[in-house]
Amino acid sequence: MGFRVDFALLQAQNVWIRTLGEKNRFVVRGQVGWIETNDFDKVPPDLRFFAGGDRSIRGYKFQGISPRGDDGKLTGASKMVTGSLEYQYNVTGRWWGAMFVDSGQAVNKFSDSNFKTGAGVGVRWQSPVGPVKLDIAAPVGDQETHGLQFYIGLGPEL
């Protein structure tokens, strides 16, 4: 048995990296997503939007931000917007320190605005086989339900 649903999914993201001098670097990220359909309940869950986690909103669990169903489980959203501002400082050689703030939301109606923000610090290492990053972040104003989150990332900022 199958079902049919017609929908349009639009998604865009951008990363902007700006180096100032030899020791200062700024990384700005943005992502938006929109699903347009007449029956959102039939959109497969793996195509819905969730926010949270590395490269989204650090300080929250991976895909831990979305509307919840009547059973309290995350359902995914039809709309998402996230943004990040990160400052990196070259401590020595291949080692960089980082400070960042991420913010965004995953909702079904923008009138139900529920922006979440996370902030933290990290270390970047330009290893011989590629970039490695370690981050620690916490939610801002949401500590009762979300604690510290640790992230390990491999690969470029893009």
pLDDT (0 to 100) of residue 158? 67
Question: Confidence band (pLDDT; 50, 70, 90) for 144?
Answer: low
List for the chain the helix, strand, coil content (%; round to 5). 5, 55, 40
Give pTM, 2 decimals.
0.90
Cβ neighbour number for residue 71 with a 10 Å cutoff: 6
pLDDT digits (tens, 9 = 90+) for 37-91: 999 999 999 999 999 999 899 999 999 999 999 999 999 999 999 999 999 999 9
Please give the domain boundaries of the chain with CATH numbers for all domains.
7-154 (2.40.160.50)
